Structure 1
Amino acid sequence: MHHIIYMSQATTALTDDKLAALLAQARRDNEERGVTGLLLYGDKQFMQVMEGEAEVLAPLYDHIAKDPRHTGLIKLADKAVEQRSFADWSMAFRAVPAEQFASLAGYVSPEALRLQVPGLSGADALLLEMARQFVLPSNES
């Protein structure tokens, strides 16, 4: 079992109808591929957890990376896991208000992650930015 977690920025705000169409297609495709996961959307930002076999997730992630509906894709995790976290959901979804998205535990905006140190993974950049925010006064970060 494998999972990939990423964040990205929508190129335009998605209407409820566009989100519904995206979810319907994702759920249908994921069920056929044996993929489960979670998609959060708010303030033009996506965060997704995809779970399944590595040989299924790799091309799916490559396909997502080419999707023109978003930009600034940042992979936070890509690794083997012992079990699924969202086993019962072909694609759980939640629209999150901007202020609630920003208050997610450990949340760092995609813009902050794009300033990462060369050679660090997305997850390492996230940890580095969290450490910076912890030790630097807000006007210095």
Structure 2
Amino acid sequence: MHHLIYMSTAVQPLSDAELSTLLHQARLRNEHDNITGALVYGDGRFMQIIEGDKAALDDLYARLLSDKRHVGLVKLADKEVAARSFAGWSMAFRPVSDEEFTNMAGYVQPTQLDLQPLNLSAADALLLHMMRSFIMQPPAE
């Protein structure tokens, strides 16, 4: 099992209808490719974790790199894992306000990340915990 975590910036803010279309397409493709994961969108930015066979994730990431809806993809983690964290979720999703996205624990702008080769085990754990806790909590009213 493999997981990949990335961040990117939307070229333009997405409407609810555009997000709905994106999610519908992603869920269908992910179910077909046996990919699970979670997506957070807010303040014009995406953070996503995807899980599955490495080859399937490599293909998906190649498509993401050429997707014109976002720019500045920064891969935060790309490694083997013992098990899925979002099993049964072809794509969990939670929209967030600009303030919520900015205040996510451990969040930094992609340009502020030190991307030198490091052992990312601690970073993976932090990002995974952040995604799990954020997806599972109810949206702010």
TM-score range, shorter chain: 0.7 to 0.9
SS at match of 2:87: coil
Matched residue pairs, number? 121
RMSD between aligned residues? 1.7
**TM-score normalised according to structure 2 size:** 0.81
Query: Percent of aligned positions with the same letter in both sequences?
Result: 51
Residue matched to 1:87 = 87
- Give per-residue Cα distances to partners, 1:95-135, cap 9 Å, x unaligned: 0111111111111112323xx46xx15986xx7xxxxxxxx
* 1:51 aligned onto 2:67: no
C-alpha distance 55-21 of structure 1, shift in aligned 2 (>3 A): same
Asked if the contact 1:76/1:121 (under 8 Å) is kept, the reply is no
SS at match of 2:94: strand
Give me the whole-angstrom Cα distance separating, in 2, the residues matched to 1:122 and 1:10: 27
Segments of 4+ in structure 1 off by > 3 A?
121-124
Give me the whole-angstrom Cα distance separating, in 1, the residues matched to 2:19 and 2:41: 9
The unaligned stretches of length 5 or more in structure 2 are 124-141
Give me the whole-angstrom Cα distance separating, in 2, the residues matched to 1:123 and 1:68: 31
Give me the whole-angstrom Cα distance separating, in 1, the residues matched to 2:119 and 2:24: 29
Larger Rg: 1
Q: Which amino acid aligns with 2:57?
A: L
